[in-house]
């Protein structure tokens, strides 16, 4: 009889326990949401020179870190470290250890970023060479004839006058004599290898699309802020005159 009463009591209490557990889970979820909200950084008003300089330094440092491949850094940990130094707190990593770790991280980050850039450029070239009208030379240079001329073919020792527009594979224009409204003159051997090769295949009056692999362009160095390392370059080139 006692066993029956105990079982009956347990059965009756189960819905209440389930309800209580459900309510507890809801409260935990609510608390976690509130904690996450409290952790969110508050917006800052740049009301004086110190705040502006501080924010500006953050912009410069973060931009530099991201450009070097450090886009996976933990911003919270970075902020804690800065605060610990400024508040003279005991550091979790001493400077010598921190230097070693950071160097290793940044080296790996740069290698990972460059690997992605190389792969992306190669994918573009592999797909592009299958398109109608695109020809590939022994060096890997790709070109497509847009308009054919009948004039002279320049030699490596010649100067040429050209109009051009240079783009990255995503369509970003990094240089254009067309936009400036003024053609440029230079020596055939004074430019990147992809240009030097292509110009000696062209006739005066030709307009070509050039697809230049990174090894015939700016390679691992890139060029300035606009052309990243290992970038495939896309040029529309019009050979106006062989001088």
Q: What is the pLDDT of residues 189-211, one digit of tens each?
A: 999 999 999 999 999 999 999 99
82 classed as catalytic: no
pLDDT on residue 19 = 56
Which stretches of the chain are DSSP H helices? 2-39, 49-67, 75-86, 95-128, 177-180, 193-199
What is the band of 186 on the pLDDT scale with cuts at 50, 70, 90? very high
Catalytic residue among 124, 143, 230, 235: 235
Structure-token match 């450090």, residue found: 70
Give the Cα separation of 76 and 162 in Å (integer).
51
In DSSP notation, 28-96 reads HHHHHHHHHHHHSPPP----SHHHHHHHHHHHHHHHHHHHTT-TT--HHHHHHHHHHHHTTPPPSS-HH
Task: Say whether 48 is catalytic.
Answer: no
Three-state DSSP class for residue 212: strand
Segment 48-78, tens digit of pLDDT: 999 999 889 989 989 888 877 787 889 899 9
Higher pLDDT, 137 or 46: 137
Measured in degrees and rounded to the nearest 5, phi and psi for residue 61 equal -65, -45
- Identify whether 164 is a catalytic site residue: yes
The answer to whether residue 55 is catalytic is no
Per the residue annotation, which of 124, 175, 206, 211 is the catalytic one? 175
Mean pLDDT of the chain: 88
At residue 37, the pLDDT reads 65
Which residue of the set 164, 206, 211, 212 is catalytic?
164
Q: pLDDT at position 197, please? A: 98
Q: Report the pLDDT averaged over residues 90-115.
A: 91
Query: Has 174 been annotated as catalytic?
Result: yes
pLDDT class of 5 with cuts at 50, 70, 90: very low
Average the pLDDT over 3-17 and give the result. 48
Go through 194-217 and write b for each residue having 16 or more CB atoms within 10 A of its CB, e for each that does not.
Answer: bbbbbbebbebebbbbbbbbbebb
Which residue of the set 143, 211, 218, 230 is catalytic?
218
Query: Which tens digits make up the pLDDT trace of 103-131?
Result: 999 899 888 888 888 999 999 999 999 99
Residue pair 165/180 in contact by the 8 Å Cβ criterion: no
Q: What is the pLDDT of residue 68?
A: 78
Average pLDDT (218-231) is 89
pLDDT of residue 41: 63
Q: How far is the CA of 224 from the CAs of 96, 160, 221, 227, in angstroms?
A: 32, 25, 9, 6
The model's pTM is: 0.67
Where is pLDDT greater, at 7 or 31? 31
186 in catalytic set: no
């Amino acid at each position: 009889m006692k066993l029956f009463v105990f079982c009956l009591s347990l059965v009756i209490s189960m819905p209440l326990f389930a309800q209580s557990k459900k309510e507890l889970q809801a409260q935990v979820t609510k608390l976690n949401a509130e904690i996450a909200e409290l952790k969110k950084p508050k917006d800052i008003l740049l009301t004086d020179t110190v705040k502006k300089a501080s924010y500006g330094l953050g912009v410069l440092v973060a931009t530099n870190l991201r450009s070097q491949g450090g886009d996976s850094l933990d911003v919270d940990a970075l902020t804690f470290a800065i605060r610990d130094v400024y508040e003279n707190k005991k550091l979790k990593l001493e400077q010598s250890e921190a230097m070693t770790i950071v160097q290793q991280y940044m080296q790996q980050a740069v290698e990972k970023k460059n690997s992605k850039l190389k792969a992306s450029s190669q994918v573009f070239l592999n797909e592009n060479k299958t398109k109608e009208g695109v020809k590939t030379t022994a060096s890997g240079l790709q070109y497509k004839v847009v308009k054919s001329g009948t004039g002279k073919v320049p030699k490596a020792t010649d100067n040429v006058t050209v109009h051009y527009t240079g783009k990255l594979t995503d369509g970003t224009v990094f240089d254009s004599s067309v936009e400036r409204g003024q053609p440029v003159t230079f020596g055939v051997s004074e430019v990147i290898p992809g240009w030097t090769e292509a110009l000696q295949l062209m006739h005066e009056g030709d307009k070509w699309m050039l697809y230049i692999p990174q090894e015939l362009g700016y390679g691992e160095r890139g060029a300035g802020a606009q052309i990243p390392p290992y970038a495939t370059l896309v040029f529309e080139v019009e050979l106006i005159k062989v001088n």
